[in-house]
Amino acid sequence: MGTPFISHLEPTRLDGYDRTRPYYQQPGHVPKTFSDAMEVREAVFVHEQGVPLTNEHDPDDARSCHWVMYASVNLTTAPEERDPHSGEVIRPRKSETRSLPIGTLRIVPFPHPPHPQPGGRYVDNVLLDDESDNEKKGDGTAASSGTARPRARTLTSVDEERQASALPFGADRPTTYHDGKEPYVKLGRMAVIPEFRGHHIAGQLWRAAKKWLEDNPTFFNPSVTELGMDQLKVGVAGDIPKWNGLVCCHAQESVIKLYERWGFKVDEGMGKWYEEGIPHVGMFLRLHIKEGNPKV
């Protein structure tokens, strides 16, 4: 493996991206960096963890920043051929060097939908009810022969407004490390292909994203001119939402210790929930950033 390098893609239009098709069947105008990110995500989340392909790409992708790590890999395109009698090489091996995407993550800007419901089960970002066509098991999980029907649980009026809005600014339920009001960015879709795990790829990606966030603390702050005070749910300029270094992660339980090594702490108040059948918990970290002014 050659020296790895990282590519960064800022928010970009992804019009025409077909979430029912794999990355290599997408329109040619889709940025290569995003296509490479999806190559990694499909390898890990779809093929390895069993997430349906249609649920992997979501509307947050277009408004997020993406980081992709590549490794220069020498690939054999044609094997060596030898004379079966003399053993002499009659055609040498042919190879080429390719920059292979091996890891990715994204940073989703605020605002976000309401915090997941403790114990909730989400499929394609939809909160399912707990009922099935058959009786539940004694441990509280639906019997394997039952099918959960997508139906939103009862939400507060604030949660309903936040979910219905294209930009759901406003209050959320408070948790251990989030007061329900402070804007935060969300680290997610972190994935490293199996062949390159154990080489601190995820850590290198996070350090690159972390440095960019620290160097660009006002990048995601909303523009008052574009959105207006009503959409931002504020009455005075001092209440305009701005990012102050808070980072959230919806972490799979299996990688909690990795995030803890980076300084994230499990938010007990968020509880545990399931995304595509995989148990998740909320974690938070605060970065130390310089004060920045809201966009105008």
Please check the confidence at residue 28 and state whether its pLDDT lies above 70: yes
Indicate the range of 7-21, 141-155, 276-290 predicted with least confidence: 141-155
State the chain's mean pLDDT as an integer.
84
- Give whole-number Cα distances, 131 to 137, 139, 152, 222, 278, in Å: 11, 14, 12, 40, 18
Q: How many CB atoms lie within 10 A of CB 161?
A: 16
Residues 99, 97: Cα–Cα separation, whole Å: 7
For residue range 109-132, list pLDDT tens digits in order: 998 989 999 999 999 988 997 654
Indicate the range of 85-99, 227-241, 249-263 predicted with least confidence: 227-241
String of DSSP letters for 132-152:
-SSPBPTTSSBPTT------P
Amino acid at position 147, single letter: T
> How far does CA 291 lie from the centroid of its chain?
26
Q: Enumerate the H helices of the chain as residue ranges.
A: 32-41, 60-63, 157-164, 201-215, 224-231, 256-261
Nearest of 189, 294, 175 to residue 244 by alpha carbon = 294
Confidence of residue 168 (pLDDT cuts 50, 70, 90): low
Please check the confidence at residue 34 and state whether its pLDDT lies above 90: yes
Q: Are 62 and 131 in contact (CB under 8 A)?
A: no
Residues 4, 6: Cα–Cα separation, whole Å: 7
Q: Are 238 and 293 in contact (CB under 8 A)?
A: no
Phi and psi torsions of 230, nearest 5°: -65, -45
Confidence of residue 237 (pLDDT cuts 50, 70, 90): low
In this prediction, residue 2 carries a pLDDT of: 57
Which DSSP letter does residue 251 get?
E
Please check the confidence at residue 262 and state whether its pLDDT lies above 90: yes
Please check the confidence at residue 225 and state whether its pLDDT lies above 80: no
% residues pLDDT > 90 (the chain): 61
Q: Are 178 and 248 in contact (CB under 8 A)?
A: yes
Please check the confidence at residue 286 and state whether its pLDDT lies above 80: yes
Q: Are 66 and 33 in contact (CB under 8 A)?
A: yes
In this prediction, residue 226 carries a pLDDT of: 66
| Helix, strand or coil, per DSSP, at residue 199 | coil
Residue of 273 and 167 predicted with greater confidence: 273
Burial 44-54 (b: 16+ CB within 10 A, else e): bbbeeeebebe
| Helix, strand or coil, per DSSP, at residue 28 | coil
Q: What is the mean pLDDT of residues 36-46?
A: 98
Q: What is the mean pLDDT of residues 254-259?
A: 97
Q: Are 106 and 66 in contact (CB under 8 A)?
A: yes
For residue range 86-100, list pLDDT tens digits in order: 888 888 877 777 889
In this prediction, residue 108 carries a pLDDT of: 96
Nearest of 273, 237, 15 to residue 120 by alpha carbon = 273
% residues pLDDT > 70 (the chain): 78
Q: What are the structural domain ranges in the chain?
A: 1-107, 111-182+217-296
Phi and psi torsions of 48, nearest 5°: -90, -45
Please check the confidence at residue 214 and state whether its pLDDT lies above 80: yes
In this prediction, residue 180 carries a pLDDT of: 93
Please check the confidence at residue 43 and state whether its pLDDT lies above 70: yes
